[in-house]
Amino acid sequence: MTERRDPDALIRRAGRGNPDFDQHFLVDDRVLDRIPTYAESFDRSHVLEIGPGPGALTERLLDVADRVTAVERDPALAAHLREEFADAVADGTLTVVEGDALDVEFPDYTCCISNLPYSASSELAFRLLPDAKPTVLMFQREFAERMAASVDDDAYGRLSVSAQHYADVEVVEEIPKEAFDPQPRVRSAVVRTTPRDPDYEVDDEAFFLDFVKALFTQRRKTVRNAIRNTAHISGLDDPEAVVAAADEDLLRKRPGNLAPATFAELAALAAEHGDPA
């Protein structure tokens, strides 16, 4: 293995982060070295990296992957990456795609390892999760904890149910803000997702996710009232018919007490009786 580039020197060559692009560059060598190890059990033959910045993590991914595709929104950083890693670009092991990761077409990657921009965490997570590819992703710690939360945890909510619909989710490391330059205002965490089919059946995934979203907007209400109050979100034409068909014990609970499988059962009941649009 060749000597590592210094992350601070990479930033100097690339230029300071653009605050409009929510750029906080990871500069702690120990953290950078650990991140690819969380994907050791995954197929790392073609790694997708979103938001590579000056390339400190990119360099480490090139050491463990056959190919890396790096999607960078900032034109100046994309140009820097092509120059800094010109040899890897030339031999085809690195492809730099300039564009917004919410819009560009992804290649047929095998896993995604990224320090994501926190302002787009939710949108990017739910672009990646339906691909059913394993990921190792950096998020704001609060967001990461919500993704991995279990039923009845204070952090359990729509994000927990939606993310765990697609994968097993685990927080594998918490990262202090001092590991970044410039430092974010919050602590961060690395999340590993391992795709798997849910242990319940969902006939209409879009309706299921909208139904979960709807009920969690009323998380402090009973399920009975949440169904009644959120028809404009879930798309139900007849929420009263759903309430009439549901189990009374279930209706007394709150959304935060419902496991994903219970949400699936209730969504199926709502689809059957509520005439969703």
Binding-site residue ranges for S-adenosyl-L-methionine: 24, 26, 51, 72, 100, 115
Contact at 8 Å (CB) between 149 and 161?
A: no
Pairing of strands 135-140, 167-175: unpaired
Write the DSSP string, 87-136: HHHHTTSEEEEES-TTTSPP---SEEEEE--GGGHHHHHHHHGGGT--EE
Contact at 8 Å (CB) between 200 and 264?
A: yes
d(CA 181, CA 7): 10
Minimal CA–CA distance to 234: which of 256, 257, 254, 216?
216
Q: 138 in helix, strand or coil?
A: strand
Q: Within 10 Å of residue 277's Cβ, how many Cβ atoms? A: 9
Which helix (H) or strand (E) segment holds residue 79: the answer is helix 75-84
170 Cβ contact list (under 8 Å, min separation 6): 148, 191, 192
Strand extents, DSSP E, 116-230: 135-140, 167-175, 180-181, 188-195
d(CA 171, CA 161): 16
Residue set of the binding site: 24, 26, 51, 72, 100, 115
Q: Within 10 Å of residue 91's Cβ, how many Cβ atoms? A: 8
